[in-house]
Amino acid sequence: MYRFEHLVGSLFIAMLCIESGAAISCYECNSAMDKRCLGDENNKLTNDLKKDCSARQTPDKKPYTLCRKIKQVIDFEVNGLQPDSRIIRTCGYEDHQYANRCYSKSGFGGRQEVCSCQTDSCNGSTAILASLALVLGSMIAKFQL
């Protein structure tokens, strides 16, 4: 009985950490145009970069339900674009296959690492994804003992 009570309590705490995906706000910026978008120690993300994504829809009427952070690298000149690297933060939509995950894409002349998450302003850093993994990992470890 003691383990069941802890499991219920831990699940309740985990549910408090997860926000609904129906109305989400995300940082929207491109470091090629605004260095604050880098979000590093010299360039801080500010509240004016946050946008409400809930009113937006894709051309086929799908709602925006997640935030994205894209690290884009152009290795050599392609189609007039000079070698460069940038961070793009935006609202997004995708199949659940990529929700709360990162994946890489590459092509001629460049590559991208795309990370998505489903809580407000989570594309500001990877800290929220790491903390969610820590909470879930701790819960699993606790019940293995």
Q: Residue 72: name the closest of 86, 62, 83 by CA.
A: 86
CATH of the domain at 38: 2.10.60.10
One-letter amino acid identity for 136?
A: L
Domain tally, the chain = 1
User: Average pLDDT over the chain, rounded to whole?
Assistant: 76
Domain that holds residue 49: 2-144
Mind listing the pLDDT tens digit for each residue in 62-93? 888 899 999 999 898 878 878 999 999 999 88
pTM over 0.85: no
For residue 121, is pLDDT > 90? yes
**Residue type for 38, please?**
L
CA count, 13 A, side-chain hemisphere, 53: 30
Q: Is 118 helix (H, G, I), strand (E, B) or coil?
A: coil
Place of tokens 């409400």: 52
